[in-house]
Amino acid sequence: MLTGIGVQAAPFVPGADSEVLERLPEKTSPQLRQLKAMRAMVARDPNDLAQVAALARRYIEAARSEGDPRYLGYAEAVMKPWWKQPDGPTAALVLRATLRQSSHDFDAALADLDRVLRREPRNAQARLTRATVLTVQGRYAQARSDCEALPGAAPQVYATLCSAAIDSLTGKADEALRALDAAMSARGVDAGARAWGQTLLGEIGQRRDDASAEPRFREALRGDPNDPYLVGAFSDWLLDHERPREVVTLIPADTRIDPLLLRRALALTMLRSDDAPAAVDALRARVLASRARGDTVHQREEARYALALNGDPAMALELARRNFAVQREPADVRVLAEAALAARDAAGMREVREWLANTGLQYAAVERMLAAGAGGRAAR
């Protein structure tokens, strides 16, 4: 229920120049003037899909980089001529699916992508986005089918990364690491693919308690030091290794991205800093504002807040369960395990244990929690 863009979205496959996304710039920059010019052009002809698509992509990137969901609303607004069309143009359907993915309306996103792929089976962006959504939902066999359809439709590195991401979650982490290392060492890997690959390598290392995680994350940060997903993932690794001061350095006090404010508040609390109460109060205010809006997108982060900062294991478990019903990434599995262990809830621990057994997910921290629960801490 926090407002940042939390799910790692499918990267855009390199294509036409109009598909290149740029960070939302500072107010005085030429890029913002260009964005304003794009809005003016769309205002003159709101039915020009090419112009609308370029502007919508800028807004989507702004939402991701700034952690501000209002930009998703702006993108939806400019897509208004096609928003309710059940079977609109391909470009409109892919953009609508991307917006729905970002808002965690996964089933609607999949419906749009299915339409596109029935029409254009070799549409690489639709394939990659559908694979991403299916992976988030834990539907790995279906996601793998989309990955396997990418060769020839997208650069080979994207097909490799797509499949390796699934392998890393289904008991084949060693194979995933080898494939990713080979892909990252190849020539001509574009910046988007390299950032994705290095982030995946860092996350695999984190789940395996492997010392390689830190250099992988740092390499990814050198390529994109402001990516909110990446900063959050590395911050979690630092918190796991009791290095909260580095989290405070990594995340500025004035961050507008709520999932990053959560990590900063956790770090300040670990440090027993005088700044911790203000950070926790700011986070609490944002949680309450999200509830007032009826925003249920980031229940994972709110579960962490409820457990670690608000001392409410029962609420944390409720939120974690609701979240796990929608998305099942490793971080969702972990927060469910943490909340179930703290709440001494045997059913929650059993759900986590079954998920690991059924998928083959290797996650050392979660396995330790399961062992602790089996030792008698999850009593009911």
Please state which CATH class domain 1-130 belongs to.
mainly alpha
List, for residues 195-245, the tens digit of each pLDDT value: 999 999 999 999 999 999 999 999 999 988 989 999 999 999 999 999 999
Q: Is 155:193 a contact under the CB 8 Å cutoff?
A: yes
Is residue 3 over pLDDT 60? no
Q: Is the pLDDT of residue 1 over 50?
A: no
Is residue 264 a contact partner of residue 285, using CB atoms and an 8 Å limit? no
Q: What is the mean pLDDT of residues 111-130?
A: 97
Q: What is the mean pLDDT of the chain?
A: 89
**Placement of tokens 């194979």 in the chain:** 175
Confidence of residue 76 (pLDDT cuts 50, 70, 90): very high
Q: Which pLDDT score is estimated for 280? A: 97
CB-based burial label for 292 (10 Å; 0-12, 13-18, 19+): exposed
Q: What's the rounded mean pLDDT across residues 141-152?
A: 97
Nearest 5°: the CA angle 180, 182, 186 is: 115
**pLDDT tens per residue, range 283-295:** 999 998 888 887 7
**Domain positions in the chain:** 1-130
Q: What percent of the chain has pLDDT over 70?
A: 90
Share of the chain above pLDDT 90, in %: 76
- b/e for 133-160, b at 16 or more Cβ within 10 A? bbbbbbebeebbebbebbeebbbebbbb
Buried b (16+ CB within 10 A) or exposed e, 85-99: eeebebbbbbbbbbb
pTM: predicted TM-score of the whole model, two decimal places: 0.89
Q: What are phi and psi of 154, to 5 degrees?
A: -140, 160
Closest CA to 146 of 174, 111, 120, 121: 121
- Cβ(206)–Cβ(240) under 8 Å? yes
Between 241 and 23, the higher pLDDT residue: 241
